[in-house]
Amino acid sequence: MRSVIDLDAYARRVGHLQPLLPDLATVQALVRAHVAAIAFENIDPLMGRPVDLDPLAIEDKLVHAGRGGYCFEHNLLLAEVLRALGLPVTGLIARVLWNRPVDHPSAQTHMALLVTIAGERWLVDVGFGGLTLTSVLRLQSGLEQLTPHEPCRLLESGGEWRLQAKVGSQWRALYRFTLQPCEPIDYVVANHYVSTHPDSPFTTDLMVARTDVDQRLALRNHEFTVRHRDGRQEHYLLRSAREIRGVLEHQFMLVLPGHVALDRRLAALPG
């Protein structure tokens, strides 16, 4: 098994043309390029296919095959890239709070990264779908931090951190986590639940997202939404599997299999 990511292939995939250096500027640029080039998507769980967290399998899928993935795949891939650059990276696991009460006892089903750059710690996350971070965040409680999209902040209490984004005029919680390093086996367990359990939305609904310079693109089953950085939104209803496939290929830049099973699954989506 190859132990180090193919950095040149990754850089080509995300369109990063500058030297790859172990510094803040490079990590910032990679985060922004990554979320613009590699879509968040759950096609494999939707099709009942296993999600392989082996680094080589993730590289083959996201870098070489033109596909996307969800949080474990995105952040495990970026973690390999950053470690290959010589940066200390700690994998974290979080409880999702988006569209839930702040005290909701949700399971630990989201992955994020803690990256140390020049002695300072930063939260890095390229896998939170429609509100994924487009900038690294300094690990400092209460500091409002600007990103190319929504302002964000981290709040800490009793050793637990909470990530919030300012959506419109309101601060909304995305997830909560501690700085306890997550063991690889815990990602395997969480990934199995997320990708196979009948109560997981990843097994029932199509969820795709990509974040460009001035807009966020999101697809939930038949509804395609473009959210501009100035607050404007466009909504489109996709009425057929052919229309959904077209948006996946052209707006989310995914290389999709032409197999009839995918078209049947897209045609059977709820809504």
Q: Could you list the active site residues? A: 71, 110, 125
Cβ-contact 6, 84 below 8 angstroms: no
Nearest alpha-carbon partner for 111 in 92, 134, 90: 92
Please list the residues that pair with 116 across neighbouring strands: 121
Positive or negative, the CA dihedral 61, 63, 92, 31 is negative
* Element of type H or E holding 57: helix 55-58
Cβ-contact 40, 74 below 8 angstroms: yes
Nearest alpha-carbon partner for 78 in 43, 50, 37: 37
